[in-house]
């Protein structure tokens, strides 16, 4: 069931965020043989769909709570990276916006896709003379893992330079997007994030009986 759920979710994600922009751009815009313009428009549609999706789910009560835990996760990681004690008071002082967040990664994937697919389409048009939506689907979809790999390396490199002017410029869109996907957590949520981080680090995760009970309750809820 887990494998089926993951497979179906991936297929839906690919259909919405990769297939739909190609079909819409082909149908509504006359730029099929202009690789840069085609992929700029398709990329714009892709980003608009992502923003609409995140904004819509952020209104759901359970998702709001999930985004609070997302903020707690970032605060806990920041505390660890700064060498602070993994305590609530230290984590609470940190920002909920992190340059290596998965949300930022998704946005970078969108921009990298525009660049790589524009280059690919230009090569295909030069080779084949012209291309259609079927050719794009056949050639673009297998390259999604490549886009993801390039995006991963890019976000790692940009995060390391996030204190420079260029680095801040590069990571800024992802941080803005995190205003949707993270919320300020409460102390109990920070406790859960810190316990999880301690477990990941192989450290003693006991932070008091009350915390352990609360963690068990949250796992049960989620």
pLDDT in tens, 40-84: 999 999 999 999 999 999 999 999 999 999 999 999 999 999 999
pLDDT score for 62: 93
Distances (CA, A) of 39 to 36, 43, 112: 5, 6, 11
What does the pLDDT read at residue 103? 86
Comparing CA positions, the residue from 50, 71, 66, 87 lying closest to residue 203 is: 87
pLDDT of residue 21 exceeding 90: yes
* CA-wise closest residue to 21 among 163, 128, 103, 117: 117
Q: Whole-angstrom Cα distance, residue 193 to residue 32?
A: 47
Domain total in the chain: 1
Is 214 a residue whose pLDDT tops 60?
no
Structure tokens that stand for 186 in this block = 């409460």
Domain with 217, as residue range(s), is 2-221
pTM of this structure: 0.79
Name the average pLDDT for the chain: 88
Residue 8 CB coordination number (10 Å): 10
Residue range 187-215: mean pLDDT, rounded: 75
Examine the pLDDT at 218 and tell me if it is beyond 80: no
- Structural contact between residues 201 and 207, judged by C-beta atoms closer than 8 angstroms: no
Digit-coded pLDDT (tens) for 125-171: 999 999 999 999 999 999 999 999 999 988 888 777 777 777 778 78
pLDDT given at position 213: 47
Q: What is the DSSP letter of 130?
A: -
CA distance 41 to 38: 5
Confidence band, pLDDT 50/70/90 cuts, at residue 215: low
pLDDT value at position 205?
Answer: 56
């Amino acid at each position: 069931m887990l494998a089926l759920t993951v497979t179906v979710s991936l297929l839906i994600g690919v259909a919405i965020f990769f297939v739909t922009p190609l079909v819409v751009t082909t149908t509504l815009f006359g730029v099929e043989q202009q690789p840069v313009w085609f992929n700029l428009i398709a990329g714009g549609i892709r980003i608009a769909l992502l923003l609409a999706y995140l904004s819509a789910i952020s209104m759901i009560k359970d998702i709001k709570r999930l985004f609070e835990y997302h903020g707690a996760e970032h605060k806990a990681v920041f505390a660890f990276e700064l060498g602070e004690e993994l305590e609530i008071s230290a984590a609470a002082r940190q920002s909920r916006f992190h340059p290596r967040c998965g949300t930022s990664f998704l946005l970078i994937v969108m921009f990298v896709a525009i660049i790589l697919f524009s280059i690919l389409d230009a090569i295909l048009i030069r080779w084949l003379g012209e291309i259609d939506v079927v050719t794009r689907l056949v050639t673009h979809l297998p390259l999604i893992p490549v886009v993801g790999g390039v995006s991963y390396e890019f976000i790692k490199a940009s995060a390391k330079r996030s204190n420079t002017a260029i680095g801040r410029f590069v990571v800024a869109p992802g941080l803005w997007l995190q205003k949707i996907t993270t919320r300020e957590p409460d102390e109990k949520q920070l406790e859960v994030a810190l316990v999880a981080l301690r477990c990941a680090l192989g450290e003693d995760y006991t932070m008091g009986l009350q915390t352990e009970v609360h963690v068990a309750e949250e796992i049960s809820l989620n």
